[in-house]
Amino acid sequence: MNYQTQDTIVALATPNGSGAIAVIRLSGPEAITIAQSVFKGKNLIKQPSHTIHFGTIHDSDLALDEVLISLFIAPRSYTRENVVEISCHGSTYIIQSIIKLLIKQGARAAKPGEFTLRAFLNGQLDLSQAEAVADLIASDSKASQQAALQQLRGGFSTELQTLREQLVQFASLIELELDFSEEDVEFANRSQLRQLIHDITQLIGRLIQSFDLGNAIKLGISTVIAGRPNAGKSTLLNALLNEERAIVSHIAGTTRDTIEETLNINGINFRLIDTAGIREATDAIEQIGVQKTMEKISQSALLLYVYDVQTLSVKDVEHDIVSLHKPGLPVLVIANKIDLQNTTQQAPNLPEGTTYVAVSAKGKTHIEELKQLIYQHSVQGRLNGNETLITNVRHLEALQKTEQALIKALQGIDTAVSSDFLAIDIKQALHYLGEITGVVTTDDLLDNIFSKFCIGK
Ligand code: GDP
């Protein structure tokens, strides 16, 4: 990656392929002069920031396209550099010709994420905000979009910044003690420091805990549908999705491999995984399916256990649930095919953490109620809208390392270790906290983050 920002970069900002309009973006000190050199219309160099100008792009005498040019003069732009956006017609030929022409005039093709990298290097965004740009572009549900937007707006960064400033204050007092080490003085009040580190550790602990939910929201909440063959799992999946996708069949064990579909409930994506039946497997293929079911359950955040209310006894249901149960995993027990039932079967005796609901997957009755139960059992009460959710593994790891350093510092205070040891732990905590927002960075770290972006971001 190139960390120089003296040159002017160019890339297509809209998706590849043809469309009504495409936007080509230039950023750097020469952005406006390079654009001017191929533009026939007003003199762009004399125009104020945040204005749009109509004209033609010319390659010598050859007119390439009629375009609109938007001007953003440094530092009032995404990258804080001069930025020009050329809105041209979305033909692959026109796009390529204009980009080639701009390169001939002195621009350089941008690398993946280079516009956002410049925004970071020029102080427009911190690192966690830059990562939020990528998350925002990848978001596919209201909840994942909201989490990314909150991070982009700097909610998380401000929270970390405050923690960091408090710690920095104490760190500098402890450093001062080191200068006077002969005299055995304490500038940093130990009980105040202890309280502060204790409070910060708790807050960091809460952020770490939020990752489970944050990550689930980002990726979709993994929800397994399990039950014996012919219980109606595939039919239920279709009813939930309101379409005919999974294969429904009378022959037991048809859904041999897993099928995954996304269902959106109240703005949250659920990844519904339909599995093969859990009955004792007889043939080899189904055996694999059964094993897969158990594996999928162990990785999931919610289990939907479906049974055929007409054929399965309450005792068998209870037996299945005991064998599938995993501590901390919420289970919805779904009695299916209530349309076929003459007498009402009693609800099974269920362990804590399980909820019972009776539906007809084929008749599509109580499906909406089931959806709301799915929502309630996974996110409701855990998502209050304001709190910061960690959605990024890199942040999680940095927070875990910060927490470890702070716990060491706490132990140090309790055992009255010397200032120099305490200073090391606090510095480490500051280092890891700083990595999240990019106060502390290495080229490797930046390469790693920005190389995952697309070109043009
Ligand atoms: P799976 O093996 O658990 O995936 O079960 P399927 O979804 O393939 O369903 C097995 C059979 O039960 C099919 O013939 C479905 O049409 C039928 N079935 C599923 N749900 C219902 C229901 O609510 N009522 C009735 N009457 N039949 C159902």
58 labeled part of a ligand binding site: no
What was the pLDDT predicted at 256? Answer: 46
Please name the residue whose Cα sits nearest to atom 24 of ligand 1: 337
What was the pLDDT predicted at 335? Answer: 94
User: What's the gap in Å between 360 CA and the centre of ligand 1?
Assistant: 9
User: What's the gap in Å between 232 CA and the centre of ligand 1?
Assistant: 4
Per-residue b/e over 288-310, b at no fewer than 16 CB within 10 Å?
Answer: ebbebbeebbeebbbbbbbbbbe
- Most confident region among 246-250, 311-315, 342-346 by mean pLDDT: 311-315
C-alpha–C-alpha distance, residues 298 and 240, integer Å: 23
**Which among 28, 83, 24 is positioned nearest to 51, based on CA atoms?**
83
User: What's the gap in Å between 267 CA and the centre of ligand 1?
Assistant: 28
Helix (H) or strand (E) holding 63: strand 62-72
Q: Does residue 387 sit in helix, strand or coil? A: coil
Strands 268-274 and 221-227: parallel
Q: Is 105 in the pocket of ligand 1 (CB under 6 A)?
A: no
274 CA closest ligand 1 atom index: 4
**CB–CB of 302/265 below 8 Å?**
no
Q: How many separate helices (H) and strands (E) can be counted in the chain?
A: 14, 13
Q: Is 289 in the pocket of ligand 1 (CB under 6 A)?
A: no
Any idea of the CA torsion for 371, 377, 378, 382, to the nearest 10 degrees? Answer: 120
User: What's the gap in Å between 358 CA and the centre of ligand 1?
Assistant: 14
**CB–CB of 373/133 below 8 Å?**
no
* pLDDT one-digit tens code per residue, 166-217: 889 888 888 887 777 666 667 778 888 899 999 999 999 999 998 988 888 8
User: What's the gap in Å between 315 CA and the centre of ligand 1?
Assistant: 21
Q: Is 249 in the pocket of ligand 1 (CB under 6 A)?
A: yes
- Choose between 426 and 328: higher pLDDT: 426
What was the pLDDT predicted at 158? Answer: 87
What was the pLDDT predicted at 386? Answer: 66
Q: Is 228 in the pocket of ligand 1 (CB under 6 A)?
A: no
User: What's the gap in Å between 307 CA and the centre of ligand 1?
Assistant: 10
C-alpha–C-alpha distance, residues 79 and 125, integer Å: 9
* pLDDT one-digit tens code per residue, 24-71: 999 999 999 999 999 999 999 999 999 999 999 999 999 999 999 999
Please name the residue whose Cα sits nearest to atom 2 of ligand 1: 230
**CB–CB of 24/95 below 8 Å?**
yes
Give the percent of the chain with pLDDT over 70. Answer: 89
Q: pTM of this prediction?
A: 0.75
Q: How confident is the model at residue 243 (pLDDT cuts 50, 70, 90)?
A: low
Instruction: Kindly state the greatest CA–CA separation across the chain.
Output: 89
* pLDDT one-digit tens code per residue, 82-128: 999 999 999 999 999 999 999 999 999 999 999 999 999 999 999 99
What's the helix, strand, coil split of the chain in %, to 5? 45, 20, 35
250 labeled part of a ligand binding site: yes
Question: Would you give the end-to-end CA distance of the chain in angstroms?
Answer: 14
360 CA closest ligand 1 atom index: 23
Q: Which of 230, 237, 245, 309 to mutate to test the pocket of ligand 1 (most atoms within 8 A of CB)?
A: 230
Instruction: Return the beta strands (E) in 172-275 as ranges.
Output: 221-227, 259-265, 268-274
Q: Could you give all domains of the chain from N- to C-terminal order, each with its CATH number?
A: 9-126 (3.30.1360.120), 133-215+392-438 (1.20.120.430), 220-378 (3.40.50.300)
| Span 373-393, average pLDDT | 80
Helix (H) or strand (E) holding 372: helix 367-378
What was the pLDDT predicted at 285? Answer: 47
* Mean per-residue pLDDT of the chain: 87
Give the percent of the chain with pLDDT over 90. Answer: 51
Q: Is 133 in the pocket of ligand 1 (CB under 6 A)?
A: no
What was the pLDDT predicted at 3? Answer: 66
User: What's the gap in Å between 323 CA and the centre of ligand 1?
Assistant: 23
79 labeled part of a ligand binding site: no
User: What's the gap in Å between 308 CA and the centre of ligand 1?
Assistant: 8
135 labeled part of a ligand binding site: no
250 CA closest ligand 1 atom index: 14
254 labeled part of a ligand binding site: yes
Q: How confident is the model at residue 22 (pLDDT cuts 50, 70, 90)?
A: very high
Which residues are paired to 303 by β-bridges? Answer: 224, 331
